[in-house]
Amino acid sequence: MTNTFRPKSHQPITFIHTADWQLGKPFASITDPLKRGRLQQERYEVVRRIGAVVRDRQASFVIVAGDLFDSPTPTNDTISAALGAIAELGVPVFAIPGNHDHGGPDSLWEQPFFKRERARLTPDFHLLDSRVPTNVALRDRGDGPKNIVLLPCPLLRRHEADDPTVWIRELDFGDFGESPRIVIAHGSTTSFGGGGASRRDDDEDDAGRTGTNTISLDRLSLDEIDYIAIGDWHGFTAAGTKAWYSGTPEIDRFPKDGQEPGHVACVTAARGAAPTVTAVRTGRFRWLARQVALDAMNDGHGPTHVDDVLTQATEAQSPGEPGFDGCLADVQLTGTVSLAGRVELDRVIESWQARLLRLDLADDVRIAPTPDEIHDLTVRPDDPIIARVATELVRRLEAGEAGADLEVVRHALHILHGLAHTTTNAASTGAANA
Amino acid sequence: MKLISVTIKNYRVHKDTSVSFDAARTLVGGPNEAGKSTIVEAVHHALFLRSRATGAVQKAMLSELHAGHPTVELRFESGGRVYEITKVFSGGSSASTILKELPAVGGAGGAGGGRTLRDEEAEQKIHEILQAEDVGGGRGVENRIRSQWSHLWIWQGAATEDPLAHANADRHGQLLRERLARVDGGGVLESALDAAAARDVAARHAETYSEKTKDKDKVRPNSPLGLANSELERAEAEHAGAAAAVEALDEAVRTIDAATPTIAACEAQLADARAEMDAVRARQRQAADLGVRIAQEESAAVAAEAAHAEAVRADAEIVACHREIAEREAKMAPALKALADLEAEERACGARCDAAAREMADAGRLQTAAATAFGLLDLHEKHETLLADREGIAGRCARIAEQRDRARTLEADLATIPAVTEAQVIELSRLDRARESADATLQAIATRVEVTQSTALVMLGGAECEIGSAVTITAPSELVVGGPGATTVRITPGGGRTLAEATQRFEEARAAIEAALAARGLESVEAARAARARRQSLEADIHAANVAIEGLGGDEAEASLAACDGKIAELAAEIRRRSGGQLARPANLAAAQAALATAERDLTAAGEAVTTASAAVTAARDRLDTVMTKRHEAGDRLRVTRTEVEALRTKAAVLEERHGTGRAPRIAALDDTRSQAAARLQASHRELQRLSPDALELDRQRLDRSITNLQAAKQDAETKRTLARARLEREGTIDPCEDLARAAARRRIAAAEQARAAREADAIRLLASLFGEKKREVESRFVAPLTGRVRDYLERLYGDGTSVNVEHDGGRFSRLTLSRRGVGDATFEFSQLSAGAKEQVAAAFRLAMAEVLAEDYDGSLPVVFDDAFVNSDTDRQRALQRLLDLAASRGLQVIVLACRPENYATLGAAIVSLDANPYVGGEAEG
């Protein structure tokens, strides 16, 4: 994560590159309002943790490379909370609109409320919503005056068909002197596919954006540029020479394999030198993805196996870190389970749904009655009707009749199994009363 | 268990009747009231009714014919033993029950032989053997007793009852279910757990699905699936709404993006169009100025042309005036000469007229004098002629007066003679002849009585008859001789009635002639004839006188005389008036006529003279008129010509005064001016042509339209942009994107929940259906031994393919149905069957029940049919015997009671015949 940096003739400058805060994200899939509130609140908390990083690393400014807000139409409450959190960072903050909070005519950034609140709460917040070079004279922190040149590539609509960095290709860099030149962009690059689309086709997905907001890094004059800060890709990733995705500082979706969200990039850059880039962890919640295969015929792969896997995965990683109550799990269950096992599995699921911030369950487990269970249900000389019904269901299941919904048959067997084992007492009581 | 025999004593019609039952088939035959039903009732009572029974059921057994208590001795076989029951139904303390166990049928046993039980002990044992419940005694026992073994005992009239009612009866149903559970490998019914599970499934099914047949499979709105469905619907609606809200924002942004370049383009185009418009307007102003100049030049040219033309025209007019004056004056001299000639001729004609008028007056006077003279002479001539006529008329009048005197004398004579006509004379003669004829008839009939000699007084018809005198009597009369009381003879003339009629006719004829004469004042018929002759003579004379008067003219002659006198007087008066009071008569008529002829000739000559003079006057006057007319015309013509000449002279003077002299040079100057104006106008027109004003106007219109359109387009785009901006201005209280995310999540969760609920509901529906199906299967299997046997029997009746079904639910048999191949393949409820089919199906079902139950009774039970097939036709009766035979061959003891035993001839049964009961006086059997 670290590039070697050797200062030459020019003084280096340190800053924090972050993106994809997605403040105001609704987390609508989480039905429990308290859990949902915790996830939403954590996105503001992480901005405060970034403030700690800024102070710790003595960064001069912060770049937010798009998607500061989750929505192009955030509520006033969200805007005020966001600007309040930014104000606490204590350094200038430069942000571009991303695809979630794109600019353009009458966008959120032009709403009177936003302008008022920004003027009152965060005079040091700078929105770069024009594709023009921005020369910034940084406050003297005792090591002399410093200048930087920011080359913002804001998105002015949700899906831009053209490369937002095109304007930089034609740029005359002669005027910029020895100031470090930092490109700020948002989108996927030609070397990296679509942004942070998760496995599930749900509210976290950016559907329908294939082929838009694409940045061709290799067509930029990299000699003239000292750092490219990119947003949109939620994991911390190097996108090429001098180009990084910082990823989101607090994870907000189940990550793709190999992605490491929950960081900011601490960058030290200077004119004509390769930047030094370090990932600093800022995330708190864990978004876990697990696949568990069950086997009705193998006691070791019964419902308790699911319980074991989740218990282990959600253990607090260090003292003070949250346990299962700071976890979201995407669990994919496959394989088979016995009739009794299905009952047990439902209990396990019920528990974990309560414990986790979110259990996203793909329950593809098939009910597969064991021979003993089939015998128990079908060989019942004293209960001829249950036995015959069970026999018919098993016959259908084994025949796998075309057109028959086997899932319904399995479920019917599951219900029948429950009736045969839970109504016994009631039945005998009823008989006694009769 | 089999019945062996029964002996009945003192039981209704039976004094002492014994019947033996065949082990398999017994047919008890006998006419109505022979006591067939009584026998089977007695057997039934022996088996089930306690001997101590009292009341109606006991009284019904009593015999009115036989003394002694009703007693039944029944022998039957059960469990390899033979029993004999003897029951005395005394209705009191002497009632008794004895059960004897006899040696076994085969005679091999005998271990229990001779054992005897009595009364209560015997009754208990009987119930035990029969596995029947004890119905006791007392109130209502007659009904309870009847239900005992009612499934085997088909009482008369009960054959069409639903056999399930008997199968379900407490003890029978219990025994039957126990048997069915054991028979043929055993049928197991649902367990309590089965039932509980089925209830649970049914309840959960009912929770989700409507149970109404109409809405089958309709999901209840408040069920989990119904709630999930409606939640999904609501979530989808919410999502659609949220998506539309976000789309509206995107649309607004797109609208602004699209409107901005449109507005810019419009503005650029507007600038171009306005510049072009300014150029067009400048040229248009130039053209307008030119138009004004052309108008001025046009009027100048017109004026010059007019001035020149006026000068030329005036000159020509003056010349023409002078020429015409000369021409008119030349024509006036001969006209003056002609006028003078006409005036002279007019004077001459006037003189001739006056002369003619004087001649005319003279001739007139002469004519008047001639006419006066002629008139007077004419009156004289008429006067004389009238005087001559008067003399002739006066002579005729004197002769007429003579003839009138004579006629008056004759008519006075005629008035003295009675007025008899010829017809009246003829009528009187006829009446007279009739009277004479009647008289002759009467006289011919009458009797003549003559007293020739008598001493005594003779009285005839009350009148004394003198001797020798004859009396004619025409009516019956009494002849009395010798005073009253002496001899009396009654004489009746003629034929009695004929005499009376003749007398009457005579009297009538006489009265008629006398009345006719009296009416005319005549004495007789002769006098009448004389009067008639005299009248004819006088009337002829009077006629002659009248003819003479007519010949002389009569009244008319006298009137002519008066008229003639009147006219003579008038004429005389007129002559006097004309002659000055003188009447100088001419000498005679001829003189008068001659004088008149002379005067007439004078008058004619005077008239001709007047006519001639009048013609001369007329001719002279005509000529004068003609000359005067010509003279007036010539004068008028001359005056007109003079007036015209004067007018021409005035005109010429006016024109010359106006245009003056030296007209030719002025005309030349005007012509010059005219040419110059035309040349200027032509030049201006060419100039205007070069500006092409029509094209300029089209350009202006085109640019005007273009500017209007561009302004509208720009306005439209600006409005759209403003509206879009207004849509994007937000209050910030809600986030449409967040709403959409929430709605999408809600939809996803609702869809998952709906899928889960649907799967749950499908599974429950599958289970509900399977539970129903399997329950029917289990029940069907349970009742299979019974329905299989029923089918065996019915196939004997209806052939292969007959099947029956009975449901068993909740410990009861129900819904007995029958289906037959080829009969519509339909299934019929028992209640839907015909009476014949009911009794057949019921019989088959009872036999099947008996067969199933018989396994607990050594494989046999008696089944009694008391006139149980009265509704079956002959063919079915025959087939029924095969059915009954099958039952017997399967071990049942079939006992058939029939009033027509011949119907069961082919059953091959042992026959018991009961004779007609000669003592019957009470109720019908049974």
B816 pLDDT exceeds 70?
yes
Determine the residue type at B26: T
Helix (H) or strand (E) holding B195: helix B192-208
Nearest residue on chain B to A407, judged by CA atoms?
A: B759
B326 touches chain A (CB under 8 A): no
Determine the pLDDT at residue A298: 86
CB-based contact A202 B744, cutoff 8 Å: yes
DSSP B300-314: HHHHHHHHHHHHHHH
CB B786 within 8 A of CB A392: no
- Residue among B718, B737, B762 with most chain A CBs within 10 A, to mutate: B737
Asked if B809 is an interface residue toward chain A (Cβ–Cβ < 8 A), one would say no
Is the separation of the CB atoms in B640 and B407 below 8 Å? no
Radius of gyration of chain A (CA): 28
pLDDT at position B91 over 90: no
Residue labelled with tokens 């089999």:
B2
Which has more pLDDT, B521 or A326? A326
Cα distance between residue A65 and residue A47, in whole Å = 14
The pLDDT of residue A193? 54
* Residue B184: per-residue pLDDT: 58
CA separation for the pair A280, A56 (Å, rounded): 11
Question: Does residue B269 register a pLDDT over 90?
Answer: yes
Look up the CATH number of the domain holding residue B880. Answer: 3.40.50.300
Helices (H), A58-125: 76-87, 112-121
A342 vs B145: CA distance, rounded Å: 61
- Per-residue tokens: B322: 């002078």
User: Is A78 in contact with B775 (Cβ distance < 8 A)?
Assistant: no
The tally of domains found in chain B comes to: 1
Give contacts of B767 with chain A, Cβ < 8 Å.
389, 412, 415-416
Residues B402 and B552 sit within 8 Å (Cβ to Cβ): no
Rounded mean pLDDT, B291-312: 89
Task: Tell me the HSE value of B150 on the side-chain side, using a 13 A CA sphere.
Answer: 23
Q: Is B824 among the domain residues?
A: yes
Contact B763/A411, CB-based, under 8 Å? yes
Chain B: give the shortest CA distance to residue A412, in Å. Answer: 5
Comparison of pLDDT for B918 and A419, the residue scoring more: A419
Do B732 and A113 make contact, defined as CB atoms within 8 angstroms?
yes
* Sheet containing strand A263-269, strands side by side: A125-127, A93-95, A62-64, A13-18, A263-269, A276-281
**β-bridge pairing B71-78 and B81-88:** antiparallel
Give Cα separations from B859 to B103, B149, B862, B893 (angstroms).
20, 16, 11, 10
Query: What is the b/e burial string over B794-826, where b = at least 16 CB atoms within 10 angstroms of the residue's CB?
Result: bbbbbeeebbbbbbbeeeebeebbbebeeeeee
Query: Is residue B827 a part of any domain in this protein?
Result: yes
B571 located within any domain: no
- Structure tokens given for B747: 């939809």
Flag if A411 and B735 touch (Cβ within 8 Å).
no
Residue A405 to residue B762, Cβ atoms within 8 A: yes
Q: Give me A240's structure tokens.
A: 């090429």
Mean pLDDT calculated for residue range B644-673: 83
| Chain A CA closest to residue B249 | A73
How far is Cα B829 from Cα B839, in angstroms, rounded to an integer?
A: 14
Out of A73, A107, A381, name the one closest to residue B737 (CB): A73
Helix or strand (DSSP H, E) at B267: helix B224-416
Among A44-53, B111-120, B874-883, the range scoring the smallest mean pLDDT is B111-120
With a cut of 70, which residues of chain A have pLDDT below it? 1-10, 190-211, 401-404, 423-434
Residues of A in contact with B257 (CB under 8 A): 104-105, 157
Among residues A338, A340, A393, A396, which one has the least CA distance to residue A367?
A338
pLDDT at B213: 65
B193 with A427: Cβ contact below 8 A: yes
- Give the pLDDT confidence score for residue B105 in this predicted structure: 56
pLDDT at B524 over 90: no
CA distance B289 to chain A (A): 53
- Structural domain contains residue B78: yes
Do β-strands B812-820 and B827-829 pair in parallel, antiparallel, or remain unpaired? antiparallel
- Domain presence at residue B23: yes
Structural domains for chain A: 13-281 (3.60.21.10), 286-433 (no CATH)
A299-308, B43-52, B435-444: segment of lowest average pLDDT: B435-444
Contact A105 B745 (CB under 8 A): no
Residue B812 in any domain: the answer is yes
In the prediction, which pLDDT does B244 show? 92
- The answer to the question of residue B609 being in a domain is no
Whether B357 is covered by a domain: the verdict is no
Under 8 Å between Cβ of A377 and A386: yes
Do the chains contact at B257 and A28, CB–CB below 8 Å? no
Number of H helices and E strands in chain A, helices first, is 9, 18
Report the alpha-carbon distance of residue B893 to residue B75 in Å, rounded.
Answer: 14
Please say whether the beta carbons of B96 and B121 come within 8 A.
Answer: no
B368-388 average pLDDT score:
84
What pLDDT is stored for residue A278 in this prediction?
A: 95
* DSSP-derived secondary structure for B548-617: HHHHHTHHHHHHHHHHHHHHHHHHHHHHHHHTTS-----S-HHHHHHHHHHHHHHHHHHHHHHHHHHHHH
- Other C-beta atoms lying within 10 Å of the C-beta of residue B246: 20
- B724 at the A interface (CB within 8 A)? yes
Q: Quick check: B734 and A75 CB within 8 A?
A: yes
> Which of the residues A385, A392, A414, A429 would you substitute to probe the B interface, choosing the one with the greatest number of B C-beta atoms within 10 Å?
A385
Residue A5: its pLDDT value, please?
41
Q: Which distant-in-sequence residues (6+ apart) come within 8 Å of A175 by Cβ?
A: A133
Interfacial B residues in 736-755 facing A (CB < 8 Å): 736-738, 741-746, 748-749
At B532, the pLDDT band (50, 70, 90 cuts) reads: confident
CB contact under 8 A, A427 and B725: no
Contact at 8 Å (CB) between A216 and A169?
no
> Considering only alpha carbons, which residue of chain A is nearest residue B734?
A75
Phi, then psi, of B549 in degrees rounded to 5: -55, -45
| B762: amino acid identity, one letter | D
Report the pLDDT value the prediction gives residue A386, as an integer from 0 to 100: 92
Q: Distance between CA atoms of B465 and B473, rounded to whole angstroms?
A: 12
Query: Is the Cβ pair B193, A423 closer than 8 Å?
Result: yes
Residues of the domain holding B79: 2-189+778-913
Rounded Cα gap, residues B273 and B267, in angstroms? 10
Which residue from B478, B496, B494 is spatially nearest to B444, judged by alpha carbons? B494
- pLDDT digits over B175-227, tens only? 888 888 776 555 677 788 888 999 999 999 988 888 776 666 788 888 999 99
- Can you say how many angstroms the Cα of residue B192 is from the centroid of all Cα atoms in its chain? 75
**What residue in A sits closest to B744 (Cα-Cα)?**
A203
The better pLDDT of the pair B451, A298 is held by A298
- Cα–Cα distances (Å) from B69 to A6, A8, B11, B120, B267, in that order, read 142, 147, 8, 19, 136
pLDDT of residue A2: 42
Most confident of A200-204, B22-26, B132-136: B22-26
Do A111 and B774 count as a contact with CB atoms less than 8 A apart?
no
For range B729-746, the mean pLDDT: 86
Q: Which residue in B265, B148, B188 sits closest to B710, CA to CA?
A: B265
**β-strand pairing of A62-64 with A366-367:** unpaired
User: What is the phi/psi pair of residue A380, to 5°?
Assistant: -140, 85
Beta strands per DSSP E along A284-407: 286-294, 327-337, 358-363, 366-367
Residues of chain B in contact with residue A157, where contact means CB-CB under 8 angstroms, are 253, 257
| B922 confidence band (pLDDT: 50, 70, 90) | very low
**Closest by Cα among B712, B724, B715 to B255:** B724
> Is the distance from CB of B46 to CB of B59 less than 8 angstroms?
no
Pairing of the two strands A243-245 and A227-231: parallel
CB contact under 8 A, B197 and A381: no
- CA separation for the pair B812, A333 (Å, rounded): 50
Closest approach of chain B CAs to the CA of A27, in angstroms?
8
φ/ψ of residue B752, rounded to 5: -65, -45
pLDDT for A210 equals 56
For residue range B588-604, list pLDDT tens digits in order: 778 888 888 888 888 88
- pLDDT class for B106, splitting at 50, 70, 90? low
Work out the mean pLDDT of chain B and round it to a whole number.
Answer: 84
Q: Which residues touch B194 (CB under 8 Å, ≥6 apart)?
A: A383, A384, A385, A386, B775
Q: Exposed, middle or buried by CB within 10 Å (0-12, 13-18, 19+), for B716? A: middle
Asked if pLDDT for residue B136 goes beyond 80, the answer is no
> A419 to chain B: which residues are within 8 Å by CB?
196-197, 200-201
What is the layout of strands, in order, in the sheet containing A181-186? A134-138, A146-152, A181-186, A227-231, A243-245, A237-240
Q: A105 and B253 in contact by Cβ < 8 A?
A: yes
